[in-house]
Structure 1
Amino acid sequence: MTLVTAGVVVLDCAEPEMLAAFYKGLLDAEETDATANRVEIRGAEGIRMAFRRDVNITPPSWPRPENSFQAHLDFRVTDLDAAEREVVALGGRPLETNDAGAPHEERGYADPAGHSFTLRLTPPTAPKQH
């Protein structure tokens, strides 16, 4: 018998409605549940996230060297430039990273509440044409 039927990534923030709107736009998601202190969404590809109100939250401060990467999100994209334009239009901001040795092209961002996430280029899977 399975005890856990689904998992949801939950981000604490001061304004869950605002942060849910950002991720709804980024993930082409729909709202599945909302209360006064929590909003849950499900993305087109099945990604589930929730945003919980914490009025005393201190926004994450990565990439300052004195703070570690406590948690972050990775999203796969097929066009980094187009995805970056969408992130910025939705209220996100690019973060400077010095990870030039990464095996795949990627870029770091912060959502409007300061949570860090990475857009990672998904290489094409179609066979090469000769």
Structure 2
Amino acid sequence: MSLVTAGVVVLDCAEPEKLAQFYKELLAAEEVGAHVNRMEIRAADGFRLALRRDVNATAPSWPRPENSLQAHLEFVVDDLDAVERLVVSLGGRPMETGDASGPTEERGYADPAGHSFVVRRGTPTAPKQG
């Protein structure tokens, strides 16, 4: 029997309320916990994400190496174009990965606080480089 009953991905950010709203809409999730410095949401499939207040949070610089990728989220989708429109309408932005020859079945984005995430179709086609 495992002592750990659930896992939660936690992103530090300056404004957890705003970032929680972004991910609630992107994932069609519901808020399952909140207090002054932390918001937690859960998607219909059980995926849990928490946003923790850190007034000194700095966004990763990925794909640039100086503050590189600290962590990222990956979401499996059916329609890359529709998801891109949603991400941008919610305040996210596309990220230039620097590899135009890479697979076209995934796209990189940053949420409104600068955390990187990838949306992809199917299984990954190439290992992480670098």
* 4+ aligned runs moved over 6 Å, structure 1: none
Deviations 1:36-72 (A, max 9, x none): 0000000122110000000111122222233322211
| TM-score, normalised relative to structure 1 | 0.87
Q: What are the within-5 Å matches in structure 2 for residues 56-95 of structure 1?
A: 56-95=56-95
State the AA in 1 paired with 2:82.
Answer: A
Question: Where do 5+ consecutive residues of structure 2 fail to align?
Answer: 124-130
For residues 93 and 105 of structure 1, the distance between their equivalents in structure 2, rounded to whole angstroms, comes to: 18
Q: Assess if the C-alpha contact under 8 Å between 2:61 and 2:69 holds in 1.
A: no
Give how far 1:113 is off. Answer: 0.3
Give how far 1:110 is off. Answer: 0.1
* Alignment partner, residue 40 of structure 1: 40
Greater Rg by CA: 1
* Structure 1 counterpart SS, 2:6: coil
Q: Assess if the C-alpha contact under 8 Å between 2:42 and 2:49 holds in 1.
A: yes
| TM-score, normalised relative to structure 2 | 0.87
* Alignment partner, residue 126 of structure 1: none
Q: Assess if the C-alpha contact under 8 Å between 2:60 and 2:69 holds in 1.
A: no
For residues 24 and 122 of structure 2, the distance between their equivalents in structure 1, rounded to whole angstroms, comes to: 21
* Structure 2 counterpart SS, 1:68: coil
**Aligned sequence identity (%):** 72
* Alignment partner, residue 7 of structure 2: 7
Question: Where do 5+ consecutive residues of structure 1 fail to align?
Answer: 124-130
* Alignment partner, residue 105 of structure 1: 105
* Alignment partner, residue 16 of structure 2: 16
* Alignment partner, residue 30 of structure 2: 30
Q: How many residues align?
A: 122
